[in-house]
Chain A
Amino acid sequence: MLRERILNFVFAFGLLAVPLIAYVSDAPFVITLATKVAILALAGVGLNIALGLGGLISLGHAAFFGIGGYAMGILASHAQSYTLLTTWPFEIAGTKSMLIIWVVALASSGLAALIIGALSLRTSGAYFIMITLAFGQMLFFFAISWPAYGGEDGLPIYLRNGFPGLNTLDPIQFFTITYVILGLALFLSSRLSKSRFGLALQATRQNPERVEAVGMRPFNIRLTAFLISGMITGLAGALFADLNRFVSPSMFSWQTSGEIMVFVILGGVGRLYGPVAGAALFILLEHWLGGINDYWQFLLGLILLGVVLFARGGLIGTLVGREVAHD
């Protein structure tokens, strides 16, 4: 446990130190890479609550990531074109305020998680995987066929949204925002896993019938976890869209769901800092292997295969010397 805490600190400090060094040495591209790691790790932190604590293998988390992204894209595009979002039943204008966009992203992805969760959590195993995947793909095709917001081409946003007191176009300042949010999400995830709710969620993963016998309804526990998980991933989607100043249907695609899951598995399923380690390793490999070979994803696949076969605790599990965080 102590070794894992030390390792967590190393990852947290490393993720902060890299962009600071890049800032001093005037390498904005590295800061952007670190920002991407922080945002993708945030999406992974969301999935890790459902997958790592609850054992819910969701292949539809791209739905929440995309909803968060489109919440940002739609609000910002209306603000930049000075058009109203809707005129009925009352007028709603767009906004360039990050804080408002985050609230909308959290609310809309939370609502989606509640609906998707309420339907999909009545099933388990392969059926749960397929239903979550189907919801993600449904939204993917909806986004493609929605010309008002770019359809297949996506939706560009010319200026990054604003945050009170900060210049969000400055890479280091935008990184700071994402790093703080990631820190808050990790804190929430840590508190959650040790709370009575988090323990009941972990118990539900192992034996739902026994959880019911002590007076708790596994469905409610899982739905709450799915909701929190979806909201965090939705917030990551809004930040990701702000980083790229662009949203596209690919945010909803099953490949995105798969990538978020890869971050969690690479880092260590159920490990607090697993998504951080996984996202950092993924981005590093993407750039390192991408520079060597165009088929870098094939090489990434081999590495993932190696992790699943020989290091089931992921990067963190392997480094702390314990294979799996749970059954």
Chain B
Amino acid sequence: MTALLTASNITAFYGASQALFGVDLQVGEGEVVALMGRNGMGKSTTIRTICRMAPQKSGKIIFAGQSLNRLPSYKAAQLGIGLVPEGRRCFTNLTVEENLIAAAREGFWSLATIADLFPRLGERRGQSARSLSGGEQQMLAIGRALMTNPKLLILDEATEGLAPVVRQEIWAAIRRLKSETGLAILVIDKSLKELSSVADHAVILERGKTVWAGATADLNDDLTHRYLGV
């Protein structure tokens, strides 16, 4: 499988404190990769570094054959990285439709295809994003990232804090994205069960460093107990 994203030995700092000590990960075209690790192990920082939102000290990030080192985050997004951030952060001063239009770029994803993936957004298109439930805001955040027509979708804790029923809706949408569109997805989530069923590969981080990478089918109890505390 051709590598869409390759991060090699990346290190990052927040001021003087080092957050990443050498992260390696790879996402192939049409592949779903789970980024795993306990809280505070550097998963979100890795994602922020890939999206050029956290300062990278060393290492290489290649996306679609192009180096992301030194690129500002809007350029990385223009190359085709769509981020669904932790905590959703929709533009609450805009309506659902306006949130989607503001991010829109040419491609497969449009208001109609987003409404097909998340019918609730279609029903609430004229409603202020502020008035949506947490689950609907999450759907909107995913929809907004898809409207940029990315090659790689990054989901950071997309189901965190949501009701079980809504979580299932989000996972169902991720499965649809995988099977129907072949979109490459890098996903962080706490649900090992769901991640194992959706992801083709997994990467485990421990103290800001990649300690394991392989097929999700190879994840065993020893690994999950040692690195994920499950």
Contact = CB atoms under 8 A, between A and B. Distances in A.
Interface of A: 196, 199-200, 202-203, 205-207, 209-217, 326-327
Interface of B: 51, 53, 72-74, 77-78, 82-83, 85, 89, 91-94, 98-99, 101-105, 144-145, 147-148
Contacts of A199: 94, 98, 101-102
B91 A202 contact: yes
A216 B74 contact: yes
B72 A214 contact: no
Contact of B148 (A202, A207, A214, A217): A214
Q: Is the interface of A mostly helix, strand, loop or mixed?
A: helix
Given A202-B93, A203-B91, A214 B102 contact: yes
B89 A210 contact: yes
B51 A213 contact: yes
A225 to B, nearest CB: 14
13 contacts: A203-B93, A206-B92, A207-B91, A209-B73, A211-B74, A213-B73, A213-B74, A214-B77, A214-B102, A214-B148, A215-B78, A215-B103, A215-B105
Nearest to B102: A199
A257 B58 CA distance: 48
B72 A210 contact: no
Given A210-B85, A212-B74, A214-B145, A202 B94 contact: yes
Nearest to A196: B101
B9 to A, nearest CB: 24
Given A210-B85, A214-B77, A217-B72, A327 B102 contact: no
B48 to A, nearest CB: 10
A207 B99 CA distance: 12
Nearest to B82: A214
B167 to A, nearest CB: 23
Contacts of B105: 215
B103 to A, nearest CB: 4
Contact of B91 (A206, A212, A217): A206
